[in-house]
Every structure is written in C-alpha cells, then in structure tokens.
Structure 1
Amino acid sequence: MTFIEELSPVWQEKWKKTGFETIMPIQEQMIPEMMAGNDILAQSPTGSGKTLAYVLPILERVNPEKPSTQAMIIAPSQELSMQIVNVLREWTEGTDITVTQLIGGANMQRQLEKLKKKPTIVVGTPGRLNELVKSKKLKMHEIRILVLDEGDQLMAREHRNVMKALIEKTQNERQLVLVSATITEEVKLVADRLMQNPTRLHVTAEDLPMQGKVTHSFIKVDERDKTDLLRRISHIEGVKGLAFVNNLDQLLMKENKLKFRDTKIVTLHSEMRKDERKKALDAFRNGEVSILIATEVAARGLDIDLVTHVIHVDVPKTIDQYLHRSGRTGRAGADGEVLTLLAYQDERHYKKFTKDLPSKPVQKIMHGGELVEGSSKTVNAKGNKK
C-alpha cells in the first residue's frame, strides 16, 4: 500500500489529475514520517520531489475550519518561496485551505491584510517573517508544522539567529522538518539541538528514477575570455544552459560586459528587483534566452526543466558543490552535459576532484560555432588555437 492510498480522497483525486506516474524516493520515505508527526532532517537532490514530499502531509494534517495559521514553510529566496506557493495553490484549488506568501520586497500592507484573515498556511523568507513576528502580526505559537526548505542555507550563519528565534517561539509539540539538497555536519548539529529525535533521510542522485546519461567535459580558456565564450555557446542551437559563477562580483562584471552584445543570456542574482528576477527566469524557461548565469545561492531550489547543460564558469570550490550544481542536468531520462570553462590556474584543482567521476571528463573546443571534442592549447575568444 503506498502513501497515496492513505491520503484523503480529495488529495488522491488531485494526485491522479496531476498525472504523476512515479512516486519519488524522497516522497515515499518522507510522507509517512511527516504524517506520523516526526521531526525530520532530509537530504535529497534539487528536483527530486522534495516540495510535494512536505506539501502533501501538510495539506492532509491542517484543518481549514480552524481560523488559525497552522503551518509555515520558510525558504531562503523569493523565487523559491513563490515556487512553493504556486505548488500549494495548484493543490488547494477548490478547497477551503488558504495560502499566503510573506516575502521581502512585496507590499507589507497587503500582506498584513491577508494575515488578518488567518491563512491556513504561510510561506515566507526569514527577514519578512521575523519582521512580522516582532511586530506581533504573526503568531508563531499557533504553528503546528514548520518546514525549512533549503535548510542548510537557512541555517547558515547569516540567517541562523533569526531562524532560531522563530523556531523557539513555536510550541514544543510542533513538528520541525528540514529539507535540503546538501546538509553539512554543522547543520546537523544545529538541527539536532532544535529537533526532537529527528528521523534522518538521505536520497542520492543514484536513487532517482530515469536518470539520463551525463557527459562531463571542459574547455580550456583564458579567464578574460570566459564571458565571450559564454556568449558564443549561447548561440548554439538547442542549448538550455544553467551557468554558475562563484561570487556576485564576477557575475555583475559579466552582466555589464554582456549588456552591449548580441547575446541570448540573462543573469539572476540577489541585487535584482523582484520583477527583474521574474522576467529573467521567464525568459529562460520560455526559451527566449539559452543561458541563465547565476550564483549558487540565487539558483538554489529553482525548478527548471530540461536543462541541457550545466556550465561551471568558475570551477566550484568543492566536489560536493560540483556534483550538486551538475545534478541540474540529465534528469527525467534526458541526457545532459556538464561543461567547465577551465582557466590554467584551476586545472590542478579541477583534475583532483573529477578523478572520481564515473567517466573521465572530455576536452572540447569551439569549432564552427559548435562544441566539439578536441584538444588544443588555450582557446581564445574567437575560438582560434593559440
């Protein structure tokens, strides 16, 4: 008997209508644990079905007839919280369960009006939630289920004090669930202090159904030529690439360089306004542009389908970071490519942590407007061998 059969008829019906044929491993493991009311620490790759793994038990366990906010989901970014709200709205359509989004950068007055109506579930970002709790507009003691999505980021130093303050304002018998694509030892320690005998769940990329074939490759390039190489890759037919840089300064420099060129690239970062971020994401999702450049933080938890290429513009600092970013391609049975733009100074570091990959990375060059296998000395911006 699957967990689906244990849900109320309304959710069983919705599951059928969504057309999901596969129950994901994290859903199979986490839903019964959440329904039992246990505290949970769950690690599972981005795009592996984590949102539904906590949304379904929340929908099952809240009581829409009770005029109080019973569940709260906290996410580190506006985009991720909007994505969660969209999933909730889709599932609660036609029911009495109400959902309100509480994020920074949005109209506070409007949010206060919605809060007065006692929504069943709230979804928000740490800063805005903290503001509302401090001003006594949001009452944490009513919360029965608290979910931290991308919890390792929420428990990082910048948010940790706010998060602990929010959690400590809830009642002792509340359920606390932390889900993330990566969970560090430090996060485990913090979570253990705040949780009661948590159930630990760990799903890896290998556990996921329908994994496509992923090729790992690199192209040697001078640091100064990376932006132009990205521009040229963006014109390759059929490319839908998620490109990662290690820090915001590098991203802003590339954004400035790309503004004045014929380019099919958009950027996503924390200094953009909400409407700018939405516009960039929509353009990428709709295929108007072929590459989205982001920092890891900005791209965290975003659900983007059919990414053909993950491009490491900068070599990641750790193998975990490399694998986590790379897991965005080769999903749902489709093949993918992980391409690293490799500057001379990073070669040693790159070789060290790619030696354990299942297949050896392939060297590529840009030739005739295409990425082809081939060895060369460093490729300059025009694709000529030096």
Structure 2
Amino acid sequence: MPPSGGPDNEAVTAQGKAAFEAIGLNERLASLLAEAGMTGPTPVQQAAIPPLAQGRDAILRSPTGSGKTLAYLLPVLQRIDPQRRETQAAVLAPTQELAMQIVRVAETYGEPLGIKTVALIGGAALSRQLERMKQRPHLVVGTPGRVREVAKLKKLPLHQVKMIVVDETDRVFSLGGKGDVEAILKGADRERQTVFVSATRSEAMREAESRWLRDPWMPEDEGEEAASGLPPTIDHVYLVCDRRDKIDTVRRLIRNLRPAGALIFVNDIERIGELLSKLRYEGFAVDALYGDTPGRERSDAMRKFREGRTKLLIASDVAARGLDIPGLPLVIQFEPALDADHYVHRAGRTGRMGRSGRSITLIEPQERFIMAKLSKQLAIELTEKALREGRLLSVEEARRARKGREEEASSSAAPTRDASSGAKGKPGIGSRPGRSSAAASAGARPAAASRRAGAGHVGGAGAEAAAPAAPRKPEPPKPSRAAKIKADRKRDNKNKGAPRWLKEKRSQSSQQEPPTPSS
C-alpha cells in the first residue's frame, strides 16, 4: 500500500474528485468525498445525483446498501445556501436509528460547507431539540411525528422548506407515519423538491407518488438488483428444524460460523426476552432492539454492536428498518419474513456496498412453501442447507456425510470372530471340510446334554466339572435421608440463575436418577 500522501494516493484522490465533479457536484463536495477515500460514485449515485442537483422530484429506488443516502443527501447539501439562516431542507426517516445515521453523514459533509444540521427524533428530550432549533439550522433530519410536533409549536417554519426527502417511503406510508408526512408536505413550500427513497415499492408508495410528486425522475433501467431490492453479493440459505430446536440451532450457527457479528430477526417481540436470556445463559454477548426500547437503551445497544463489544443483536422488523451496519457478515431470520418486502429489508442489512454476506432463515418442515414463494417473488435462489460437522452443507452433501457415518458405525459394531472360526463364510482351521454349522451344532447338543446329566448326579464326576453359577449383582442400597437432602441442596444451588426450562429439565433428570449415598 502506498504511504499516505504519496504520489499514488494523490493520483487516486484526484481521480475520485474528477469522477464526482463529472456528475455535477461542486469542487468542495467532490474534494471532501475524495479525501474520505471514495474513488468515484456508485451506480445509483451516478444516475441520481445529476437530476436531483437540478431540483427535480424523484423516485429513488435501489437495493439496500447501494449508496442511496449519499445519492440524495449530496444534492441537498449542494443546493442549500449556508448564507441564509433558515431551514431549507428536511429529511424524514421512519426510525430513530436511521435518522441518526443520516445526521452523521450530513454533519460529515455539511459542516465543512458551513451547513448546520439538527436531529428531531422521538424518544429524545423535546426541550433540548427546541433549544437547538433556535440556531436556525439549514437542515433538519428526523422522524415524521417529532418533526410535525416541532412545526406545530412554531419552531420549524415549514413554508421555508424547499426540499423534502422521505427515506424508506414504503415503510412510512404503510405505517402510522403517513398522516404526519402528508401534513409536513402540505405545510412546505409549494414549489418544493420532493424525493421518495426506498429499496422496495409498495402500493401505498405508488399512491403517494401520484399525489405528491410532479414529473418525477426514475432510473431508466432498474435491472435485476432493483427488481428484488437485494444486491447479488448475498448468499440466501434456509435451515429446516423443529420449533423447539431453533435456539439451539442459533447457538450452533454462531459457535461454528464464528461471525464478527450477527443480526437476529424475530416476528414476535414477545419472544425477544426468551431468546435474549437463553443466549446470554450460553455465554453470548447479546442485546435487543425493538420498537418500544427507550431511546438511550437503543443508542447504547447500537453503539456497542458497531464497536464489536456485542456480537449479536436481536431485533424486530420495525426497529432494524434502514440500519446501516458496515461489514455485517450474517443475518439470521429466527422466523421466516412475513412477506417479500420484509425479507428484503432483513437480508439487506448484510452484503452492503459490494461486500459479501449471508442470510440464514430458520423454518419448520411445513414452512418450505414460504421459501419457494419468496424465491419466486424476489427472483433469488434460496438454498436449503444443513449444519453438519461445523459446516453448512447442501442437503445432498449432508445425506452423504450421514450415510458415511452410519456405515462406519455399523462396521465398528460388527461381532468379533474367533480365530478358530476363520474368515466369514469360510470353514475354520480345525473344522472338517464340507461339514455344515448345523451339523456341528447338532453334534454338540448330545455332549451338552450328557454334561448336564453328569452335573446333576450327586457325587459324580460331572459335579466337579460343573461351572459355578454367576454371582448375583447386589442391589444398590437406598440413599439415606441425609444424602437425599444434600443432593437436593446441591441441585438447588446449581439451578440459581438458570432459565425455567433448564431448571425443569434438571429436576426431571434428578428424579429419574437417585443421588449416590454418602459413605
């Protein structure tokens, strides 16, 4: 790698700057991007930045992790006049985490230009946000409910806002934020620029486009990636297991695949507590993120996960919407997604910006049809695999491996042959040729009968030769009361801190196996 500031680095920086200037960005923004190590725009940025920089309404639909945030944020920053002390642009996002991610990007590239950004998100102190609005920020980024609340308090003059971006538009218009967004759009400048951004395009989003956008720009050729909303760098896998075995399957996946981090999605937030406690009991560093998580806990959980102090993050679909976690290698869907859109936004947390990733869905045997349906709807290959010997194998490979183990086990369990009997299917060394085993056993029966008769004759020679009877195995003594009390106390101490299911399991096993009496 060339040293920092060397001729090669300077050439790369100059090349990146020229690439961004070629699509319509000003020299200052192009320099900031090149200095940040970007060698050029992504395909979605190259297509979207020129029309957005000209002020056109737009429908920006692109796969997750393709660079959509900079695709709309760079033109917004370029069109803001830092000399005017008024709020000129607003970016709306469905979740607090996504809003804060956008704020960080806006501050990185906006502050050097003299552009002030304020976050207006629910769950944070309203009084502090109102105090910051006194600075008259050029750009506000927030959740629709809080932005509307601040506007109602006359602290955000919407009529001055000339640019509005609605990120994750399909999610916003499908949930409760629709009314808040429409109120903000009504209050903004009539000649405003409006941009809708999403990886998927729901029916609710199409209705909103026809109502609020004027002659919007759209990508000419969306291609296969945009059709599914997923980048091609993701490996889509599903494992079949019983419901009761899912938590153990998660444990085995993490132990064997050893990912740097993993995001675990659940459909029912009621299961988050159970999954969280059992994984922690197994020794994993894990946190949870769901819609009702308090703001401080949400930010702490995300910070620890990004810093690598927490390896696993359990999340609901709403809480993880739009999360950008650079380099996330693995997504585990504890239950199959409710529909194709939910699958896109789950799997799309990995494989971002050209990196490879893997999405693993855990299903029950009767849910295979869901995987076939998603595969058809999204035009992706969903492969069934099995976890064997610490590896993810195809069904055929797992079948061959199981068959090989069974053959090895049967051969090791074969009965040992005497030296006198010779090889299997061949007469022994001392046997007569042509004499069958049936004949040999027939000849042995009279001899055995005579030995038994001799053994039963009092004083006969057979009595001396008779083999002594095998001694009976003594029954183990019953445990004393003191030993039973000691065993119960030991079991209770061992159960401290264990989940209820493990306590019940240990209690059952202790009832089946009585404790060993003390000497």
TM-score normalized with structure 1 length: 0.88
Give 3-state SS (helix, strand or coil) of 1:161's partner: helix
2:207 is aligned to 189
Moved over 6 A (4+): none
CA distance in 2, matches of 1:224, 1:44: 38
1:139 to 134, 153, 157: 157
2:435 is aligned to none
Note if 1:365 corresponds to 2:387.
yes
1:292 is aligned to 313
Maintained 8 Å contact 2:53/2:79: yes
Maintained 8 Å contact 1:212/1:336: no
Maintained 8 Å contact 2:166/2:195: yes
1:206 is aligned to 225
2:294 is aligned to 273
2:356 is aligned to 335
Pairwise CA distance, 1:93: 3.0
CA distance in 2, matches of 1:213, 1:8: 32
Structure 2: stretches of 5+ with no match in the other structure: 1-17, 403-519
Comparing 275-284 with 315-324, greater Cα deviation is found at 315-324
CA distance in 2, matches of 1:213, 1:31: 24
Shift of the 207–109 alpha-carbon distance from structure 1 to 2, 3 Å rule, reads closer
Note if 1:241 corresponds to 2:262.
yes
Give the partner amino acid of 1:85.
Answer: V
Pairwise CA distance, 1:2: 5.4
CA-atom RMSD, angstroms? 2.6
Maintained 8 Å contact 2:385/2:392: no
Give the partner amino acid of 1:48.
Answer: S
Shift of the 229–299 alpha-carbon distance from structure 1 to 2, 3 Å rule, reads same
1:116 to 134, 142, 146: 134
> With CA pairs under 8 Å and 6+ residues apart, which has the higher RCO, 1 or 2?
1
CA distance in 2, matches of 1:355, 1:177: 30
Give 3-state SS (helix, strand or coil) of 2:177's partner: helix
Higher helix share: 2
Pairwise CA distance, 1:143: 0.2
Maintained 8 Å contact 2:61/2:226: no
Pairwise CA distance, 1:130: 1.4
Note if 1:229 corresponds to 2:270.
no
Maintained 8 Å contact 1:231/1:265: no
Note if 1:4 corresponds to 2:26.
no
Pairwise CA distance, 1:261: 3.7
2:77 to 47, 50, 59: 59
Comparing 304-313 with 283-292, greater Cα deviation is found at 283-292
2:43 is aligned to 25
Comparing 62-71 with 270-279, greater Cα deviation is found at 270-279
CA distance in 2, matches of 1:360, 1:155: 29
Pairwise CA distance, 1:56: 0.9
Q: Deviation string for 1:38-74 (max 9, x for gaps)?
A: 1111111221111111111111111111111000111
2:105 to 71, 87, 91: 87
Shift of the 198–332 alpha-carbon distance from structure 1 to 2, 3 Å rule, reads closer
1:326 is aligned to 347
Maintained 8 Å contact 1:31/1:54: yes
CA distance in 1, matches of 2:68, 2:324: 11
Q: Deviation string for 1:82-113 (max 9, x for gaps)?
A: 11110011112333211111111222222111
Structure 1: stretches of 5+ with no match in the other structure: 377-386
Comparing 164-173 with 239-248, greater Cα deviation is found at 239-248
Give the partner amino acid of 2:225.
Answer: E
Comparing 100-109 with 288-297, greater Cα deviation is found at 288-297
1:78 is aligned to 96
Maintained 8 Å contact 1:212/1:334: no
Higher strand share: 1
1:264 to 285, 288, 294: 285
CA distance in 2, matches of 1:172, 1:213: 41
Comparing 24-33 with 276-285, greater Cα deviation is found at 276-285
Pairwise CA distance, 1:282: 2.4
Pairwise CA distance, 1:184: 0.9
CA distance in 2, matches of 1:98, 1:323: 34
2:239 is aligned to 219
CA distance in 1, matches of 2:261, 2:175: 33
Q: Deviation string for 1:322-372 (max 9, x for gaps)?
A: 34432333344443322121212312222343368554614212535x544
Pairwise CA distance, 1:317: 2.6
2:426 is aligned to none
Give 3-state SS (helix, strand or coil) of 1:328's partner: coil
Give 3-state SS (helix, strand or coil) of 1:199's partner: coil
2:86 is aligned to 68
Maintained 8 Å contact 1:99/1:121: yes
Maintained 8 Å contact 1:354/1:361: no
Give 3-state SS (helix, strand or coil) of 2:112's partner: coil
CA distance in 2, matches of 1:181, 1:285: 23
CA distance in 2, matches of 1:350, 1:265: 28
Shift of the 307–344 alpha-carbon distance from structure 1 to 2, 3 Å rule, reads same
Maintained 8 Å contact 2:371/2:382: no
CA distance in 2, matches of 1:100, 1:355: 43
Maintained 8 Å contact 1:26/1:203: no
1:379 is aligned to none
Give the partner amino acid of 1:184.
Answer: S
Pairwise CA distance, 1:176: 0.7
TM-score normalized with structure 2 length: 0.67
1:167 to 185, 191, 215: 185
Pairwise CA distance, 1:77: 0.8
Pairwise CA distance, 1:205: 6.5
CA distance in 1, matches of 2:131, 2:345: 39
CA distance in 2, matches of 1:358, 1:103: 36
Shift of the 138–91 alpha-carbon distance from structure 1 to 2, 3 Å rule, reads same
